[in-house]
Structure 1
Amino acid sequence: MTISINDYKALSQELDPDKLQTQILALLLKLQNVERGSLWIKRDGMYECVEALGDKSENIKGIRISPQEQSIVGWVIKHGKMTIAEAGDSRHFSSLEKNFKIKSKLILCFPLHLKGQEVYGAVQVIDTSTSGEQLNLDPAYLTMLQDMVDIGSISLRNSLEFQKQRREYDKLSRTLSSIRSSRTIVGKSQSVNKALKLVENYGVTNYPVLLYGESGTGKELFAEEIHAKSSRAQKPFLTQNCSAIPENLLESELFGYVKGAFTGAIANKSGLFEAADGGTVFLDEIGDMDINLQAKLLRVLQENEIKPLGGTQTKKIDIRIISATNRNLEEDVRSGRFREDLYYRLNVLPLKLPALRERKEDINLLTTHFLNREAAYSHMLPKRMSPEAMSIMVNYNWPGNIRELENMVKQFQAMVPGDTITERDIPQHIVHPEITPETTPQRLVTPSGHEKPAATQSDLGSMTWSEMEYSYVMTLLEKYRWNISRAAHAAGINRSTFDSRIKKLGISKRGQ
């Protein structure tokens, strides 16, 4: 029997090592008209059978033979050449067939070459016929078989290497996915260490926590860390921004609703509180919650129960509430805008987060962290800051806090052509913060990545609509220290609309 072109093609194209091992062995058995054979790989200092065909093959596959033991496979791997052996050969590892009813009569074994004389395994075919004359031992035929084995050997080694690279790639992909999905509290300043100490202490309790801090200081990140340190860590952590949606919609999002509660309520729907049962709910911008809804939230804290919108029955729940605000709630209590009883219920464990200007020693760490993270997002090497550029970054007050710094790093990653960020790459309002917009033309970084002077009334016509909108949104955000609600109010639109424009323009509103 001869080898066809399709046989060679099948051996050269298969990338799955398990399938290729079977193909090589099955083809050899077919060409030699026998039914038993095995394929061995040198692995971890042993000779391991990775494939076996024929009677009792399940007892052979997975067997490992030490190089110190006599075996035909070991001899072939050591000497790198084909051999023919009878059952009585001193090299035969006969104990392997101790419980076999049909034993080997004649064994033909080929080395698996990688490149040149390097041998990484062996493949053997076994004649079990009574006469032991099934194998074709014609020298020319054996040479042809060795050529076929050599081709299969290279293909098998390539497929094994491919699988190894694939596993490494999958591992790297999982690592990158973990980096992308995880957010880390970065900082070594005294104020951050103090806050982290309180996170540790608060984590072991079940009391409500109220996070204070300017917009962009990472309040949600600290809330996640408190949850992770608590006994509820394996339960849900769900977030709701209280200023992002209207009052009636916010109530249905938090409490759920029953069928028929309002137009469009065609089925019962669980709310955030019920979905988070056993876990933690983070209520961001709690100070913007409507006064009527505050009363319903108070009942959740007092009675641990909820009543869905339009429902008549209450449901018991077990949740921990962590809330956050950038408002002065004590002042809101005095003005009657925020319920005093709710304030004291929420403020059992207060945690004040420092502004970035109060932790300048962390700016270098944060900048490096964001540069590395954004490089991982983009599958690029991270850029580095020149000492002069980093000094400018540290000296700037960052009114938008960590969020503003994060956005600046994204601009660096997208727009700086080289691998080093220098003073020339930093916007002028950061380089010269002492110069107000009224005394010097501002520079605008447009969504398309071009830098140009901020518009005056005389040159508005030179800007595209997206450039003008980008400039307007950034101006409002910086003016109101990245308070989305106040910026939206100043723009004369509701917060959700303003928020959607931020996303469309590519301006990140994510915290640290």
Structure 2
Amino acid sequence: MTISIDDYKELSQELDPEKLQKTILNLLLKLQNVERGSLWIERDNMYECVEALGHQSEELKGIKLNPNKKSIVGWVIQNGKMTIAEAGADTRHNSQFEHNFKVKSKHILCFPLLLKGKEVYGAVQVIDTSSDGDHLNLNPEYLTMLQDVVDIGSIALRNSLEFQTQQRKYAQLSRTLSCLREKNSIVGKSASVNKALKLVKNYAATNYPVLISGESGTGKELFAQEIHAQSGRADKPFLTQNCSAIPENLLESELFGYVKGAFTGATANKLGLFEAADEGTVFLDEIGDMDINLQAKVLRVLQENEIKPLGGTRTRKVNVRIISATNRKLEEEVRSGRFREDLYYRLNVLPLKLPNLNERQEDIPLLTEYFLTREASFSHMLPKKLTPEARTAMKSHKWPGNIRELENAVKQFQAMVPGDTIQLADLPPHIASPVTTPSISTLTQKRGSALRSSSKETPAMDISVLTWTELESTYVLKLLEKHKWNVSQAARAANLNRSTFDSRMKKLGITKNIDQ
């Protein structure tokens, strides 16, 4: 069989390395009338299989060979020559990877991947698995023609790999510039913030897992980014996954990836977050919402530094640092059986508790000024100023949504307040004229009064005597009482996530007493 002009065009015009790898392999398999082949690249002092075709090929892709161990691929890369080997009889043949293969190799034809300067950067092999092992055309002239094809494909592949590298560098540069424009900085001079920043510096010098706890909106992801930025992994990926944002089965595929055919719709291999962040950091937000079955697999990542994609049969080694965050009390989740105790202790090697905004009120003016300046820069305007009365009101507000609520308030000022000065009257009523959230006992008395004031014919509560906050507090209390203060059951009855219901309870100042 001969190679056509179209085949040469396909080799020279493809810029996607993954597609080109398949193209090279498919062409060689067609020319040699065999069905199995693999392509290897030298990376990080190892020989890695980046593409494989044929029966059970998915088990070979991603495997790495040690250059110090005998293998046909290693011999070809190290000697820069094409070779023919009889599987099993040739001492260079590393047969361990075919141990579970139903169809074994008979003859192996392996070519080096060469650059113009004769530098070898990989190898490609085609494998005869026929029962007689006589499908390969080993005619010297034919092999010379195949070597020419491989040389063209080799240069094209190297160019595509270099093109991909430059694309990644450009993308990284774009992300860096974007981060410089939009980067959220840790702002604050309070004692609690300085204490947290000191811990960040100490934790960054290690590779141990960090568990960040704190209320919603306190900046947990920001502190995780700072730990990564100050660590030795700073130039490696920092990838984030919110564990409460997607269902359990989708979360598993996001974290661990999957192989082609793992489930309906899995038409290609997908890299998981842990593998994509190799050598870097993975931030798992809302770890307390993770399903307990998936927790066992995350525990294995921490214990063994290995992952297994969905549908895969082989584990893969990864080197990632895990930083997790939660607004729940994981100790209580452990006691209730909703969170694995062994995973909790693995994650909580280095704890970092973030203060809420009410615990660092002296930072509110600094944060407000920072957000005003940042938002003004986005709009190419001068930052607005607050009058002393408005500044005092901002500092006095309780900020149940913490820094996130403050940031959103500033965005509203930027969009809605005319002129360059923010007056007290420009502030939302709940900030300008704060109303103290009533205590549970006060609400109980007011609710009883409302019930007594209603007529016998209409025993329903007269909710018109309640404020909006009181009404919401009454609803939450009634749900908790109905479900004997089981927060999870109350949240389900309200058709809310447990974390959302918890957050509302905190904002309303409702906590469970010991005797409840």
TM-score class normalised by the smaller sequence: 0.5 to 0.7
- The separation in 1 between residues aligned to 2:333 and 2:191, in whole angstroms, is 30
Change in Cα spacing, 1:487 to 1:409, as seen in structure 2 (3 Å) is farther
Q: Identify the residue that residue 448 of structure 2 maps to in structure 1.
A: none
Change in Cα spacing, 1:419 to 1:192, as seen in structure 2 (3 Å) is same
Q: Identify the residue that residue 368 of structure 1 maps to in structure 2.
A: 369
From 474, 477, 492, the counterpart of 2:495: 492
Which residue identity lines up with residue 350 of structure 2 in the other structure?
A: L
Whether the 8 Å CA contact 2:200–2:223 is kept in 1: the answer is yes
- The separation in 1 between residues aligned to 2:384 and 2:187, in whole angstroms, is 19
What does the per-residue CA deviation read over 1:71-125, in whole Å, with 9 as the maximum and x for residues that have no partner? xxxxxxxxxxxxxxxxxxxxxxxxxxxxxxxxxxxxxxxxxxxxxxxxxxxxxxx
Q: CA deviation at 1:381?
A: 1.5
Q: Identify the residue that residue 359 of structure 2 maps to in structure 1.
A: 358
Whether the 8 Å CA contact 2:387–2:423 is kept in 1: the answer is yes
Whether the 8 Å CA contact 1:245–1:495 is kept in 2: the answer is no
Whether the 8 Å CA contact 2:210–2:322 is kept in 1: the answer is yes
Counterpart secondary structure, 2:322: strand
Alignment of 1:2-81 (within 5 A): none
Q: Identify the residue that residue 125 of structure 1 maps to in structure 2.
A: none
- The separation in 2 between residues aligned to 1:312 and 1:175, in whole angstroms, is 37
- The separation in 2 between residues aligned to 1:313 and 1:435, in whole angstroms, is 58
Whether the 8 Å CA contact 1:176–1:376 is kept in 2: the answer is no
Q: Identify the residue that residue 270 of structure 1 maps to in structure 2.
A: 271
Q: CA deviation at 1:253?
A: 0.1
- The separation in 1 between residues aligned to 2:283 and 2:269, in whole angstroms, is 23
Which residue identity lines up with residue 267 of structure 1 in the other structure?
A: A
Whether the 8 Å CA contact 2:385–2:420 is kept in 1: the answer is yes
Q: Identify the residue that residue 241 of structure 2 maps to in structure 1.
A: 240
Q: Identify the residue that residue 329 of structure 1 maps to in structure 2.
A: 330
Q: CA deviation at 1:431?
A: 2.3
Change in Cα spacing, 1:174 to 1:385, as seen in structure 2 (3 Å) is farther
Counterpart secondary structure, 1:359: helix
Counterpart secondary structure, 2:283: strand
Which residue identity lines up with residue 324 of structure 1 in the other structure?
A: A
Q: CA deviation at 1:432?
A: 2.6
Q: CA deviation at 1:457?
A: 10
Q: Identify the residue that residue 442 of structure 1 maps to in structure 2.
A: none
- The separation in 1 between residues aligned to 2:356 and 2:489, in whole angstroms, is 18
Whether the 8 Å CA contact 1:179–1:373 is kept in 2: the answer is no
Q: CA deviation at 1:245?
A: 0.1
Q: Identify the residue that residue 403 of structure 1 maps to in structure 2.
A: 404
Q: Identify the residue that residue 187 of structure 2 maps to in structure 1.
A: 186
Whether the 8 Å CA contact 1:429–1:435 is kept in 2: the answer is no
Q: Identify the residue that residue 260 of structure 2 maps to in structure 1.
A: 259
- The separation in 2 between residues aligned to 1:177 and 1:309, in whole angstroms, is 34
Q: Identify the residue that residue 459 of structure 2 maps to in structure 1.
A: none
Q: CA deviation at 1:238?
A: 0.1
What does the per-residue CA deviation read over 1:153-182, in whole Å, with 9 as the maximum and x for residues that have no partner? xxxxxxxxxxxxxxxxxxxx9999555321
Q: CA deviation at 1:376?
A: 1.0
Identity %: 76
Whether the 8 Å CA contact 2:306–2:316 is kept in 1: the answer is yes
Which residue identity lines up with residue 354 of structure 2 in the other structure?
A: L
Change in Cα spacing, 1:343 to 1:176, as seen in structure 2 (3 Å) is closer
Q: Which is worse superposed, 178-187 or 233-242? A: 178-187
Q: Which runs of 5+ in 1 are unaligned?
A: 1-172, 440-455, 459-470, 499-512
Change in Cα spacing, 1:321 to 1:486, as seen in structure 2 (3 Å) is farther
Change in Cα spacing, 1:204 to 1:490, as seen in structure 2 (3 Å) is farther
- The separation in 2 between residues aligned to 1:497 and 1:212, in whole angstroms, is 16
Query: Is residue 416 of structure 2 the alignment partner of residue 415 of structure 1?
Result: yes
Whether the 8 Å CA contact 1:300–1:306 is kept in 2: the answer is yes
Whether the 8 Å CA contact 1:212–1:351 is kept in 2: the answer is yes
- The separation in 2 between residues aligned to 1:486 and 1:235, in whole angstroms, is 42
Alignment of 1:67-466 (within 5 A): 179-435=180-436
Whether the 8 Å CA contact 1:204–1:231 is kept in 2: the answer is yes
Q: CA deviation at 1:495?
A: 10
Q: CA deviation at 1:239?
A: 0.1
Counterpart secondary structure, 1:238: strand
- The separation in 1 between residues aligned to 2:190 and 2:269, in whole angstroms, is 49
What does the per-residue CA deviation read over 1:407-447, in whole Å, with 9 as the maximum and x for residues that have no partner? 100111111012111110111212232355999xxxxxxxx
Number of matched pairs: 290
- The separation in 2 between residues aligned to 1:312 and 1:215, in whole angstroms, is 39
What does the per-residue CA deviation read over 1:12-57, in whole Å, with 9 as the maximum and x for residues that have no partner? xxxxxxxxxxxxxxxxxxxxxxxxxxxxxxxxxxxxxxxxxxxxxx
Change in Cα spacing, 1:282 to 1:176, as seen in structure 2 (3 Å) is closer
Whether the 8 Å CA contact 2:287–2:325 is kept in 1: the answer is yes
Q: CA deviation at 1:297?
A: 0.4
- The separation in 1 between residues aligned to 2:233 and 2:330, in whole angstroms, is 28
- The separation in 2 between residues aligned to 1:412 and 1:424, in whole angstroms, is 12
Q: Identify the residue that residue 456 of structure 2 maps to in structure 1.
A: none
Which residue identity lines up with residue 327 of structure 1 in the other structure?
A: R
Q: CA deviation at 1:494?
A: 7.1
- The separation in 1 between residues aligned to 2:216 and 2:493, in whole angstroms, is 17
- The separation in 2 between residues aligned to 1:303 and 1:206, in whole angstroms, is 15
Change in Cα spacing, 1:175 to 1:321, as seen in structure 2 (3 Å) is closer
Counterpart secondary structure, 1:264: coil
Which residue identity lines up with residue 379 of structure 2 in the other structure?
A: S
Whether the 8 Å CA contact 2:376–2:383 is kept in 1: the answer is yes
Which of 1 and 2 has higher RCO (CA within 8 Å, sep 6+)?
1
Counterpart secondary structure, 1:240: strand
Change in Cα spacing, 1:361 to 1:497, as seen in structure 2 (3 Å) is closer
Whether the 8 Å CA contact 2:425–2:432 is kept in 1: the answer is no
- The separation in 2 between residues aligned to 1:213 and 1:334, in whole angstroms, is 19
Q: CA deviation at 1:489?
A: 5.9
- The separation in 2 between residues aligned to 1:422 and 1:361, in whole angstroms, is 20
Which residue identity lines up with residue 269 of structure 1 in the other structure?
A: K
Which residue identity lines up with residue 430 of structure 1 in the other structure?
A: I
Whether the 8 Å CA contact 1:199–1:226 is kept in 2: the answer is yes
- The separation in 2 between residues aligned to 1:419 and 1:488, in whole angstroms, is 43
Change in Cα spacing, 1:405 to 1:257, as seen in structure 2 (3 Å) is same
What does the per-residue CA deviation read over 1:217-246, in whole Å, with 9 as the maximum and x for residues that have no partner? 000000000001110000000000000000
Change in Cα spacing, 1:489 to 1:350, as seen in structure 2 (3 Å) is same
Cα RMSD between the aligned structures? 3.3
Change in Cα spacing, 1:181 to 1:363, as seen in structure 2 (3 Å) is same
Counterpart secondary structure, 1:337: coil
The structure with the larger Rg is 1
Whether the 8 Å CA contact 1:217–1:353 is kept in 2: the answer is yes
Change in Cα spacing, 1:341 to 1:218, as seen in structure 2 (3 Å) is same
Q: Identify the residue that residue 3 of structure 2 maps to in structure 1.
A: none
